Structure 1
Amino acid sequence: MTQDLPLGAPLPGWSPPPRPDRDSLAGWYCRLEPLSRDHAAELHAAQLLDGSIWTYLPYGPFPDEAALADWIARDASGADPLFFAVREAVSGRALGVLSYLRIAPGAGSIEIGHVNFSAPLQRRPAATEAVTLLIGRAFALGYRRLEWKCNALNRASRRAAERYGLSYEGVFRQAEVVKGRNRDTAWFAAIDAEWPALKAAYETWLDPANFDAGGRQIVPLSELTRPILAARDPALASGPEAGLASRDGRPDNPGEHHQEDQG
């Protein structure tokens, strides 16, 4: 006797997307450049301003520019993870990094992680735009799923994920050991069906008309993306929120490594 079991929806015409390349991306407020040793001096100077950006990362801080340059050459110059430096338009300086990782064309899945924004970049529109540029490129290439993972204790990163319109998918308990400590990992994602609405939300928020003469946002991004969420993070529904809001509506985001394992 044959039993008919449920199957996923067929995907007629779908084919694996290409891997992202190392081309630069430019927006209103920042430019993403393939990370290289040439960025080490500016990045190290900016990173010295706030040591807390390394709290949830499995590497760093680096004692000097040379050590950071060596790390870039050794660990951050490959195709996966694919690192970018964030060059802010106003200052012209490289002030942060982020990457694609866990790139899986066969599944149509890709992750954004290794987000490490220095103090001068935090709470700036350029920080938000940097993430949305990578999200946009991923879906433009044909990826079906965009992931964001973080230490479950990193409340700021969890708020940032939800603010970008990435839906909560749960927590993997005891997922990693980072710097000798347990890490539970919170998962968030967006899928391709949600991209048109997310794209419209990002464009509305990033439009210079959404900022007043003092640079303050008029409509918060979270207000634009909230209706798109398939599920909200229950951890954000309780506890104090004071101090997490910022000039551009973006939560404070100490550097985060949204990855399960580099091995």
Structure 2
Amino acid sequence: MSQVEGLHDANFCYPLPASLESERVALTPFIPAEHAQLFIDEARPFPELFKYLPFGPFSDAADFTTNHFDPVVRDNKGNVLFAIYDKTRAAPRAQRDAGMATPQGKFAGIIGCIKSSPENLVTEIGCIVILPAFQRTHVASNAVGILLHYALDTAPDGLGLRRVVWQANELNVPSVCLAQRMGFVLEGILRWDRVLPAGRPGNGIDLRDGDPRTKCPGRNTAMLGLTWDDWEHEWREKVNEIMARMSTP
């Protein structure tokens, strides 16, 4: 697997192909000039998509690029973001004509590999936003499955990593359930793991007097992991079966 040429928006620590695909879903590295406005247009009507995320919602493409993509993704070698395309649905003609969508299909959201460490042969699947029209379809399972193959398969098809991490707000039951369905094992709950922005769902525990950030709730984080031996002995085959299941949008 060789590093894609000319991908100026990517600064990832692992080799990054131009696309990663299953039969029904394609992931392409997120390039703000091509994808930021598309993402904002599709996500803006649904601010609830960011309920359990540490970022967003965003006012416009410039807000997303300046305050999230540039500092979190472009400037961090451990992080990369992908645009998700549902290959079973054609992109709207207006998007195709404007060059805002690739021929793979209809834009369905974003997903990333984050906190990656070549030294420890690990990455984390995160920054997942699946647009409402594609929830409870094949899109999420295929997007996650594609990244599991990318991370845990050995060369030349994959990176040969030893571990993939999944972290979620303990209250985000759909995220935890998706991870477990794809083979991740719940390894523990990290109590008071993060300070969240004001207004986000916290752990429900009142803060003590004198807390430095009284308006910002605390998050308990569910920590899950999928390792290379889990993958080789059982979960590669199971994930392939899940990705192949048909669903009705």
Common topology (TM > 0.5): yes
After TM superposition, where is structure 1 displaced by more than 4 Å over at least 4 residues in a row? none
* Separation in structure 1 between the aligned mates of residue 219 and residue 227 of structure 2, nearest angstrom: 26
Q: Does 1:154 align with 2:187?
A: no
Q: Aligned to 2:134, what secondary structure does the other structure show?
A: coil
**Alpha-carbon distance in structure 2 between the residues aligned to 1:105 and 1:80:** 9
> Is there any run of 5+ residues in structure 2 with no aligned partner, and where?
1-11, 91-104, 154-158, 198-215
Tell me the alpha carbon deviations over residues 170-228 of structure 1, each in whole angstroms, 9 at most, x when there is no partner: 10111110102201111111111111321111222222xx43xxx45xxxxxxxxxxxx
Q: 1:181 aligns with which of 196, 214, 217?
A: 217
Structure-2-length-normalised TM-score:
0.72
Alpha-carbon RMSD across the aligned residues, in angstroms, is 1.9
1:124, distance to aligned residue in structure 2 (A): 1.8
Instruction: Give the counterpart letter for 1:72 in structure 2.
Output: F
Note the 1:100-179 alignment, pairs <5 A.
100-140=113-153, 141-179=159-197
Partner residue, 1:94: 107
Is 1:63 aligned to 2:59, yes or no? yes
Asked if the contact 2:163–2:225 (Cα under 8 Å) also holds between the matched residues in 1, the reply is: yes
Q: TM-score, normalised by structure 1?
A: 0.69
CA distance in 1, matches of 2:21, 2:79: 20
In the alignment, the residues of structure 2 paired with residue 107 and residue 194 of structure 1 have an alpha-carbon distance, to the nearest angstrom, of 17
Deviations 1:6-53 (A, max 9, x none): xxxxxxxxxxxx942332201112111111111012211221232111
8 Å contact kept, 2:169–2:222: yes
Question: Which moves more between the two structures, 121-130 or 19-28?
Answer: 19-28
2:50 to 47, 54, 69: 54
> Structure 1 residue aligned with 2:237, among 197, 200, 205?
200
Report the AA paired with residue 204 of structure 1: E
Say whether residues 1:29 and 2:24 are aligned partners: yes
Identify the residue that residue 82 of structure 1 maps to in structure 2: 80
Percent identity reads: 25
SS at match of 2:16: coil
Whether the aligned pair in 1 keeps the contact of 2:14 and 2:118 (CA below 8 Å) is no
Q: 1:142 to 1:182 in 2, by over 3 A?
A: same
Tell me if structure 2 keeps the 8 A contact 1:86–1:96. yes
Q: Deviations over 1:215-243 (max 9, x none)?
A: 45xxxxxxxxxxxxxxxxxxxxxxxxxxx
Cα distance in 1 for partners of 2:121, 2:78 equals 15
Deviations 1:134-182 (A, max 9, x none): 1111112121111101111111111111111101101011111010220
Residues 49 and 118 of structure 1 are in contact (CA less than 8 Å); yes or no, is this contact kept in structure 2? no
